[in-house]
Amino acid sequence: MTFSTFGQKFAGECGILQLMADLGTAVRQPGAIMLGGGNPSHITAVQEIFRDRMARILDSERDFEDLIGNYDTPQGNQTFIHALVEFFQREYGWDIGPQNIALTNGSQTAFFFLFNLLAGEFPDGTQKRILLPLAPEYIGYEDVGISNDIFVAYKPEIEFLGDHLFKYHVDFSSLVIDDSISAICVSRPTNPTGNVLTQTEMRHLSDLAKAHNIPFIVDNAYGLPFPNIIFSEAQPEWEPHIVMCMSLSKLGLPGARTGIIIADAPIIRALEGMNAVVSLAPNGFGPALALDAVRTGEIMRLSREHIRPHYEKKAQQAVAWFREELGDVDYFIHKPEGAIFLWLWFRDLPISSQELYERLKARQVIIVPGHYFFPGLTAVWPHKQQCIRMNYAQDEATIRAGIRIIAEEVKKAYSMSNE
């Protein structure tokens, strides 16, 4: 069967698809220690709130029938959009109205829409790209472009913090923003590293975007005000040139597939059109489950009191266990400032991160090899092959067992090269 060029791009051999298939097969093995994907924890206190809300929907006279029986508008559920507008006006004083919000079937879908809206081939024949100012960056961006090569990324500066910790910073001296750049995008907190770009970095990037009259896309899937998986100082900001992408997934609702995009009205209208063509209307379950929590502001309390402390404790525990297991190995962990991952860098690792992944998989520990997280970075950089990403959302026993095996394999790799 021969597929179109478009079809081959998506049904073919793209890296993320292969990796996902591989992870899926590995996970089905009995006893597998799954530290690979991006699944959030199941937090009982949070799940109870959504279970209660579902029970109230089922008990009410019409809510359940309305939820299952009607398409929402292509922009998304209007009641939820209005509740979100009031929420962001009240909490942050943002100057937005319903014309500034669209919902999508998960924020991943929003990135597919946004990147293809803003990058690729333009009517005048020019090719435009999205600038990712700091690699490593989210693996999920890698293959979303209908055209190839829609990203340009730059190597970061590395700050050594002592005690086997480090932090990436944007290297502003190397960024080139010419006419071929049509938007700037960062995830904050960053998947895979747990980095939270500083307020100064964010302001600088925002100013650069504004000065070049291009959008600044902020992937806030783990950020403020919900799910608030941020352990350092941060403040969300919105201006008309900012495209703020949020999600209900890491709040504990990945199955509800709900992304929330806050942007200037022309971008929202385009997303509305894309929703209409691709899926008629976005999913209504996420909006129905989260509506009350947004209206009352409970969503912020949930995030602050349950979600954030849950992950912060897990991050600290995982770092402590790595310290215990790795001893004097030449390793560094990106300072965990947010998201649900640890990013480990094994300096001068004698094997590639892919080989380390294979060896760990053979011992039923599933992580993601780091070289996948450099979309748009063509520069040769050994660092790309020396890192892995580990999800720490699982229960303690699983994380503990996984860390022990990772440490054993890493030590083995270093010691065999010294023999």
The minimum distance between CB 141 and ligand PLP, in angstroms, equals: 8
Bridge partners of residue 245, in order along the sequence:
219, 261
> Given the rule CB under 6 A, which residues bind ligand PLP?
38, 106-108, 138, 140, 187, 191, 219, 221, 247, 249, 254, 259
Q: Which is it for the CA torsion 236, 167, 130, 357, positive or negative?
A: negative
* C-beta of 187 vs 303, nearer to ligand PLP: 187
For the bound state, the minimum distance from the C-beta of residue 38 to ligand PLP, rounded and expressed in Å, comes to 3
Helix or strand holding residue 374 (H, E): none
* Contacts with 250 (C-beta within 8 Å, 6 or more apart), sequence order: 40, 221, 222, 227, 229, 307, 340
Least Å from the CB of residue 341 to ligand PLP: 9
> Which of 250, 359 has the CB closer to ligand PLP?
250
**Can you tell me which residue has the tokens 């990324």?**
153
Q: Give the number of residues written for the chain.
A: 419
Query: Residue 366 is inside which H or E element, if any?
Result: strand 365-366
User: CB-based contacts of 415: which residues, under 8 Å, 6+ apart?
Assistant: none
Minimum CB separation of residue 249 from ligand PLP in Å reads 3
Nearest CB to ligand PLP, comparing residues 250 and 361:
250
Least Å distance, CB 236 to ligand PLP, is: 15
Shortest distance, CB of residue 248 to ligand PLP, whole angstroms?
7
For ligand PLP, the closer of residues 98 and 254 by Cβ is 254
Identify whether the C-beta of residue 358 lies closer than 8 Å to the C-beta of residue 377. no
Helix (H) or strand (E) holding 33: strand 33-34
Please say which residue, 227 or 402, places its beta carbon nearer to ligand PLP. Answer: 227
User: Which of 67/217 has CB closer to ligand PLP?
Assistant: 217
Residue 265 near residue 215 (C-beta atoms within 8 A): no
| Tokens 């450099």, located at residue | 374
